[in-house]
Structure 1
Amino acid sequence: MTVLQRAATIAAMSFALAGLIGTSSPGLATEIDRGTVIASPIVTPVTPLAPTFGPARPVVQPIPTAAAPVEAAGTAFDSLDAAVAAQDAAIADDALRCLAGAIYFEAKGEPLSGQLAVADVIINRTKSGRFPEDVCGVVKQHGQFSFVHGGSIPSIDSNRAGYRTAIAVAKVALRAAWENPATDALFFHARQVAPGWGMIKVAAIGNHIFYR
């Protein structure tokens, strides 16, 4: 084999060897492509900042208003005469009618304080638990008032001045518009009689003496 032939043979063998290597082993570029992992970028969530609307405003408290004045529970009078004079003569219900009738028949000739004391005796009885609980029941109770006949109060002329006064006194008593002149009294009798009651005397007004 000549030198030229030997050179050709070596060249052919080198070419064949190169082809074998190219088909059996990946190239460097291929190795890099297969081994490279492209990671997704990590996104860190950002907490949004609270919106700012400028400096905080002070809380304004409402200014309390003055309370409305409370009206007095009743009209104040300078005297019993004024309290009686301020009442009208209208009769609104049976309680007023019964009380006015008792005042008229028992004390129409008495001073206003004496008439009011008689009215208060009747009202006190309604609250005592020892007598009927309503005014008419007390006035008409058997054996208590001599002017009552058969459980009825005699009719009265409404134009009489004494009766109109009795109505006004009854209103003062029912409305507690004047202080009771015979506190807590439950009984009374005329001065000219002496029943010998073993009770506590609380007042002597006009022609009557009052007890409890």
Structure 2
Amino acid sequence: MNVLKIWAGACALTVALSSGLAAEVSVSQSNDPTAPIDARLAQLLGQERAGLALVEGSRLAGLVAEPQKTAKRPLFAAVASTNAPTRAAARKATEGAPRVTDPMWLAAQPAPKGDQQFRCLATALYFEARGESLHGQAAVAEVILNRVEARTYPNSICGVVNQGGKGGCQFSYTCDGKPETIGDRRAWDVAGRIARAMLDGAPRELTQGATHFHTPAVNPKWARSFTRTAKIGSHIFYREPMRVASAAPAQVATATAPLRQSARTKQD
């Protein structure tokens, strides 16, 4: 069957290719519509043979020959070879890094413990974000750690969490007059695990360097001039603009604006 199909295709192509050489031969029967069908076929086959005879043997062989099979190249072979070192480096860089938003990984870690800085971070996550997802709690932890590394904030976690300013406390649970009572042990364990993972080097890749956040229920003035970087759960995150040494005092003062209303009012 394949041979017949190839032969038929070759014949059709041959007739098309040789039409210029045999232009003086008419294949039309429109002048004699009463001619018998077998006579028409005989005439057509005769013309086809004549056309084939005019085609070079090498050209005809090329028409009927099966196409050569070429080895298939993987679709992404070039990309894979080019990016292989980059991907390998990325895997090496993140190998062993805490996967703070992976619930299976987080649950497999030992019971969290640490010094006073660890407790300050865990406490802030508990009172500010315990109703959030793992991503949401990790995002709040990023803000606190980003502030620790910024020059305009205290250089310790406890210092950042307990910092006060003209507008009040940064985290209002620290000065709302209520005792810091841990009533939900499960939520405290989760907050502690996230705090431990972040202190152990979990990548900060959720908020793009944010130093502020608030809930949609409030609209602080500083949000108008800060760069919005993410919305995760019920929090909107911002990165404060770059400031130069000659920044006006009013601009610097905005850096100590409170982050948001305490989650304690919402959750307790």
TM-score calculated relative to the size of structure 2 = 0.48
* Aligned match of 1:139: 161
Give distance in 2, aligned partners of 1:78 and 1:113. 8
Residue 176 of structure 1: how far off its partner (Å)? 2.4
Of the candidates 194, 199, 202, which is equivalent to residue 177 of structure 1?
A: 202
Q: Say whether the 8 Å CA contact 1:104–1:166 is kept in structure 2.
A: yes
* Aligned match of 1:119: 141
TM-score calculated relative to the size of structure 1 = 0.59
* Aligned match of 1:200: 227
Residue 180 of structure 1: how far off its partner (Å)? 2.7
Q: Give the CA RMSD over aligned residues.
A: 2.8
Residue 88 of structure 1: how far off its partner (Å)? 2.8
Residue 156 of structure 1: how far off its partner (Å)? 2.1
* Aligned match of 2:174: 148
Report the 3-state secondary structure (helix = DSSP H, G, I; strand = E; otherwise coil) of the residue aligned with 1:193. Answer: coil
Report the 3-state secondary structure (helix = DSSP H, G, I; strand = E; otherwise coil) of the residue aligned with 2:112. Answer: coil
* Aligned match of 1:96: 118
Q: Say whether the 8 Å CA contact 1:83–1:177 is kept in structure 2.
A: no
- CA offset digits 1:112-135 (Å, max 9, x no partner): 101000001000001011100000
Identify, as 1 or 2, the structure richer in helix: 2
Alignment of 1:1-212 (within 5 A): 74-75=96-97, 77=99, 80-142=102-164, 143-149=169-175, 154-157=180-183, 160-196=185-221, 197=223, 198-212=225-239
- Unaligned 5+ segments in structure 1 are 1-69
For this pair of structures, how many residues does the alignment match?
Answer: 142
Report the 3-state secondary structure (helix = DSSP H, G, I; strand = E; otherwise coil) of the residue aligned with 2:214. Answer: strand
Report the 3-state secondary structure (helix = DSSP H, G, I; strand = E; otherwise coil) of the residue aligned with 2:173. Answer: coil
Q: Say whether the 8 Å CA contact 2:99–2:106 is kept in structure 1.
A: no
Report the 3-state secondary structure (helix = DSSP H, G, I; strand = E; otherwise coil) of the residue aligned with 2:210. Answer: coil
Aligned amino acid, residue 156 of structure 1: I
- CA offset digits 1:49-73 (Å, max 9, x no partner): xxxxxxxxxxxxxxxxxxxxx9987
Q: Give the 3 Å change call, closer, same or farther, for CA 110–72 of structure 1 in structure 2.
A: closer
Residue 192 of structure 1: how far off its partner (Å)? 1.3
- CA offset digits 1:22-44 (Å, max 9, x no partner): xxxxxxxxxxxxxxxxxxxxxxx
Give distance in 1, aligned partners of 2:189 and 2:103. 14
Specify the structure having the higher radius of gyration (Cα).
1
- Unaligned 5+ segments in structure 2 are 1-91, 240-268
Report the 3-state secondary structure (helix = DSSP H, G, I; strand = E; otherwise coil) of the residue aligned with 2:172. Answer: coil
Give percent identity, aligned residues only: 39
Give the stretch that moved more between structures: 124-133 or 192-201.
192-201
Report the 3-state secondary structure (helix = DSSP H, G, I; strand = E; otherwise coil) of the residue aligned with 2:138. Answer: helix
Q: Give the 3 Å change call, closer, same or farther, for CA 164–203 of structure 1 in structure 2.
A: same
Runs of 4+ displaced beyond 6 Å:
70-73, 150-153
Report the 3-state secondary structure (helix = DSSP H, G, I; strand = E; otherwise coil) of the residue aligned with 1:203. Answer: strand
